[in-house]
Amino acid sequence: MYSTGDFRNGLKIEFEGEPYLIVYFQHVKPGKGGAFVRTKMKNLKTGSVLEHTFRSGDKVDKPDLEEREMQFMYKTGNQYHFMDTGSYEQIYLDEDHVGDYGNYLIENLSVKILFYRGEPIGIDLPIFIVLRIVESEPGVRGDTVSGGSKPARLESGAVVQVPLFLDVGDRIKVDTRTGTYIERA
């Protein structure tokens, strides 16, 4: 069990029978009355955000969560298929569970799949991935690093803003949390 003193951003807890991720917390000690902890939590199954206030010393359960390293294989319709790299077991997740991360999935990419009570509920991508540009407007002579930007379609299907000097075939590093260009790879 976790106490409110253990709360930190990124902690996974079980609250009212559901797994939650603490996105934000604030410990408040008013001059009058008991201390309390204000939290903003994201439901790991549904993605909904809940704000809740806990009294100081309240206890919450640890969720029955397991992370397994899996490899993305392919997408059919609105289902993403993954394979466990240890047991070769295959599972699939719907677009609802994958969310915006589906824009960065390419074949053979290793990801972590989050399981709650044996059921897959979501994925966790590496923070930075290297992808190839497959479609982009041609650069103009004289373009510099500090110049403007242009949209570029990546091999995974995502569209990111890149500097003007990059062209089709270049490999770039992308931040999967924000969907932004980091550097040329």
- Return the pLDDT at 125: 85
Q: If you write DSSP's letter for every residue of 136-178 in order, what string do you get?
A: EPPP-TT--TTS-EEEEEETTS-EEEEETT--TT-EEEEETTT
Of 37, 60, 83, which marks where a domain is finished?
60
Which CATH number is 165's domain given? 2.40.50.140
| In a shared domain, residues 105 and 150 | no
- Return the pLDDT at 47: 81
| In a shared domain, residues 109 and 149 | no
Q: Could you tell me the two tokens for 183? A: 């550097």
In this structure, is the dihedral angle defined by the CA atoms of residues 29, 35, 39 and 44, taken in order, positive or negative? positive
Please compute Rg for the chain using Cα positions. 21
- Measured in degrees and rounded to the nearest 5, phi and psi for residue 21 equal -115, 125
Which CATH number is 6's domain given? 2.30.30.30
**Could you tell me if residue 156 is left (phi over 0), alpha (psi between -120 and 50 degrees) or otherwise beta?**
alpha
Q: How many CA atoms lie within 13 A of 128 on its CB side?
A: 9
In the chain, how many domains are there? 3
Do residues 163 and 147 lie in contact, with contact meaning Cβ atoms separated by under 8 Å? yes
Which residue is it, tokens 């409110």? 4
| In a shared domain, residues 72 and 54 | no
- Structural domain including 6 reads 2-60
Task: State how far the Cα of 120 lies from the Cα of 123, in Å rounded to an integer.
Answer: 8
Beta-ladder partners of 167: none
| In a shared domain, residues 8 and 56 | yes
Q: In tens digits, what is the pLDDT along the chain, a chain of 185 residues?
A: 899 889 998 899 999 999 999 999 999 998 888 899 999 999 888 888 999 999 988 999 999 888 889 999 998 988 999 999 888 889 988 887 887 888 888 888 899 998 898 888 888 888 899 999 999 887 665 555 556 788 899 998 889 998 888 888 899 999 888 889 999 88
Q: What is the pTM of this model?
A: 0.73
